[in-house]
Amino acid sequence: MAYPDLFILRHGESEWNREGRMQGHLDSPLTPKGEGQADRQGVLLGRLDLPADATFWVSPQPRARATADRALGAFAASAHVDPRLREIHLGDWDGMTRKAINAAAPGILDLGLMAWMDHAPGGEGLEGLRARVTDWLGALDGPAVVVTHGITSRMIRGTVLGLDVPGMEALPGGQGIIYRVKDGIHSLIE
């Protein structure tokens, strides 16, 4: 399937990111570093020749909305808030540190950056995340700028590129940058 041009931003560093705590559907505020990362994304977006018909999208979670407010500037007010862009739900493991998760399920994190998430008790699982991301992608009718989360970003990019989970795990990650996916090509804007 052909997808429109996508510009994907991950929210800036949050307090729980700094602590190594899994946020999932929970939330914590941006750190000063995260605010700076969001400001940097705004500068990067300003340097791009965004398509005139681009739409703006944001996860409803506060850390993504705070990033959008800083990075999208005047476009933040018109951004579509869409629950399909939320971070993956990790069920009982939302809010836990990686260390605590590994203590609860020894060796689980060895499955891979994303693969272990399929084993989260009460969690959404990767197929659940893929279903909502695919639904969102199918509803797009033109280029889009989206502010979302780390795993959701990998799932969006991986779905557009036709990657399996190990392929998605190999994609670059990070905050304060923009990922572009256009015509099957993945690039990093930093």
Q: At what angle do helices 32-47 and 62-71 cross, to 10 degrees?
A: 50
| Catalytic residue from among 13, 15, 80, 87 | 87
Phi, then psi, of 84 in degrees rounded to 5: -70, -10
DSSP one-letter string for 81-95? E-GGGSPPP-GGGTT
Is residue 21 a contact partner of residue 159, using CB atoms and an 8 Å limit?
A: no
Structure token pair of residue 36:
């700076």
Terminal-to-terminal C-alpha distance of the chain: 28
**Residue 169 catalytic?**
no
**Residue 186 catalytic?**
no
Which residues are marked as active site?
A: 11, 87
